[in-house]
Structure 1
């Protein structure tokens, strides 16, 4: 089924740092199954700002083992949604929230004996926090290393919670902080998470003996770590990553797909919630299938429009498309016909996409 919004009441708001809050939602009994989640997944939140519906994707920082459903929101300079949150959201307010989605996790089992390493920078700690909590609480024989990059000590999100985990799981949780704008006694704790830092960390982390890696943060850091690990011949299936890109922003690394040189219109057929509609879209248009459908008045699931969150994922039933970027999709998903409609442009005369087949 396609995703839709549900009204959820804010249960609690915590000030995590001067630039970050976390919001806990009350999940009614009749929605608990719909809002059940895996560690590391995310939700899309919608609110009306100055007469316009604005959507943003936020990762869950709570663990599914708890009775919490909590996201973290970092204040961004000039950020429309995050600034509105800080000024207007209060306990008791109702927000429209989509059920959790995302593949940024691995299945956990009590009998696992694994070695996990997580790299996070800034608010990239949000899904990582959910993941490492769940692993440490579920797998008593597994070990976790967290490399967490921040500007300064006072910008650490979930600082108390992270150190509480360190104290509780002394033998199984290794914590390594790095600060880019604050000098430290140990050189290994100063600087950004880049190739030099990753090489330094080899004295503490045996990369080729790690079972699963999780990486989350700004695009530059995330891709740097991913490429570093792949260069060490670490299998791609062991490397899980999630990009944090500002809503609507395009990747700075992946080139935009070449728009079709064909003239004329493509007939676009869209299936959603058991209904179908169609419209025409010029073959050489730089407008995505998602944006064109929205212009036609369609109510489709979407959030980041940057090829990352996968909220707009659909099955390509007929025809062919080109995607600008597709960070949120694995190659095997693309091989099965899944596309990100926010990045897709028609290159055949007819294209049929189905949002009900996710």
Structure 2
């Protein structure tokens, strides 16, 4: 018995600290939670929407319909290996789960986008693509008995989740109306133009689309200029609106949200999708150890200096959810009960979530002891 205890103690102090990628049992740190595995999908079609935007249509690896449950407006976290590194990025569904169409994500190629460039330059029909389960709260559940007016405001490729929402509402709520406002730089950058026109033809009394262009061509009959808060309010006028969904560049979303709140629209009716990836460039990371107390299990976990709440919890075997691990999807959101954390910015938390004590464990560092609800 004495020999066994001595062996355990030696192992305790000799074993190196675990990394975030700990995947085997440890006498010191406990049994870690198995990582959520990425699923493989077959890319069955690649559609050029604009010169810089492509849609990737997905199927099961054998080419059949994938067993993929998702809600309108949610996104997939795509996992790719590039130059020896595993990269994760969130891309919204541009398809609707209610139409019977294959699931699809739509991606804009950006000059500094490591993953978007890879998808555009390397992925073709027939290739396999890995992704984590769908996540996201920028969504709604269509109600066949609903009679409401929903306004969707898109800036550029921000139309992607709104396309999913629009199709789902038109199919699932025959008594509801949808107004879609789309802002683009020029006419050749309008995404889903033909799909939206087909939806209008199919539901002319329930679906209205208005485009606003920064650089309109001669003879343009639509809106002109940035689709900011003032432009959105002018376009909708005094029509009663039950829900607002906004997705696009940060300045546009901030302007629209501020204009709506100023006009008296309740905060809970304004839904904003933020795909912001957190950075440590302008923040102070605490340089001391802290204790994390998980109220659900009563477990106490030590977070080392420079270790996020997610890293500390997973290393100790606490079953914390996560997906993109970059502050962009919200899958790792938890509520703090006590203590203070600092978070990398920008990230996808809303002001209301922050005020309620929510943090993203993937980009939050304990600045002293912290108590966390659940788990």
> Is this a same-fold pair by TM over 0.5?
yes
Q: Please list every run of 5 or more consecutive structure 2 residues that lacks an aligned counterpart in the other structure.
A: 1-32
The alignment status of 1:62 with 2:83, answered yes or no, reads: no
Superposition RMSD in Å:
3.6
**Partner SS state of residue 100, structure 1:** strand
CA distance in 2, matches of 1:127, 1:6: 21
CA distance in 1, matches of 2:44, 2:294: 37
| 2:349–2:359 CA contact under 8 A, matched in 1 | no
**Partner SS state of residue 39, structure 1:** coil
**Partner SS state of residue 78, structure 1:** coil
Residues 23-38 of structure 1 mapped to structure 2, 5 A cutoff = 23-27=56-60, 32=67, 35-38=68-71
TM-score (norm 1): 0.80
In the TM superposition, residue 45 of structure 1 has moved relative to its aligned partner by 0.4
> Aligned residue for 1:145?
179
TM-score (norm 2): 0.77
Which structure is larger by alpha-carbon Rg, 1 or 2?
A: 2
In the TM superposition, residue 162 of structure 1 has moved relative to its aligned partner by 0.7
- CA deviations 1:323-349 (Å, max 9, x no partner) are 4556335736874x6420133121223
Report the number of matched residues. Answer: 335
Q: Please list every run of 5 or more consecutive structure 1 residues that lacks an aligned counterpart in the other structure.
A: none
In the TM superposition, residue 318 of structure 1 has moved relative to its aligned partner by 7.2
CA distance in 2, matches of 1:62, 1:342: 28
| 1:216–1:244 CA contact under 8 A, matched in 2 | no
In the TM superposition, residue 122 of structure 1 has moved relative to its aligned partner by 0.6
In the TM superposition, residue 257 of structure 1 has moved relative to its aligned partner by 7.7
The alignment status of 1:344 with 2:375, answered yes or no, reads: no
CA distance in 2, matches of 1:219, 1:56: 18
In the TM superposition, residue 181 of structure 1 has moved relative to its aligned partner by 1.8
The alignment status of 1:225 with 2:280, answered yes or no, reads: no
Structure 1 residues 352 and 235, CA gap change in structure 2 (3 angstroms): closer
Match of 1:243 among 258, 271, 274: 274
The alignment status of 1:116 with 2:157, answered yes or no, reads: no
CA distance in 2, matches of 1:219, 1:318: 31
- CA deviations 1:3-29 (Å, max 9, x no partner) are 442122222211111111111111478
**Partner SS state of residue 191, structure 2:** coil
CA distance in 1, matches of 2:97, 2:153: 21
**Partner SS state of residue 40, structure 1:** coil
The alignment status of 1:212 with 2:247, answered yes or no, reads: no
CA distance in 1, matches of 2:321, 2:69: 22
Residues 5-84 of structure 1 mapped to structure 2, 5 A cutoff = 5-27=38-60, 32=67, 35-65=68-98, 66-84=100-118
- CA deviations 1:230-272 (Å, max 9, x no partner) are 0011111111110243x44589xxxx88766xx632145899x
**Partner SS state of residue 248, structure 2:** strand
**Partner SS state of residue 98, structure 1:** strand
The alignment status of 1:303 with 2:331, answered yes or no, reads: no
- CA deviations 1:200-231 (Å, max 9, x no partner) are 32xx4325x10011100011101111111000
CA distance in 1, matches of 2:334, 2:81: 26
In the TM superposition, residue 91 of structure 1 has moved relative to its aligned partner by 2.0
- CA deviations 1:38-74 (Å, max 9, x no partner) are 1000110011000100111000010001242110011
Deviates more, 1:48-57 or 1:93-102: 93-102
Match of 1:265 among 255, 264, 289: 289
| 1:13–1:22 CA contact under 8 A, matched in 2 | yes
| 2:186–2:215 CA contact under 8 A, matched in 1 | yes
| 1:266–1:351 CA contact under 8 A, matched in 2 | no
| 1:124–1:244 CA contact under 8 A, matched in 2 | no
Match of 2:159 among 125, 133, 145: 125
| 1:267–1:280 CA contact under 8 A, matched in 2 | yes
The alignment status of 1:106 with 2:140, answered yes or no, reads: yes
Match of 2:206 among 172, 187, 190: 172
CA distance in 2, matches of 1:30, 1:171: 33
| 1:57–1:304 CA contact under 8 A, matched in 2 | no
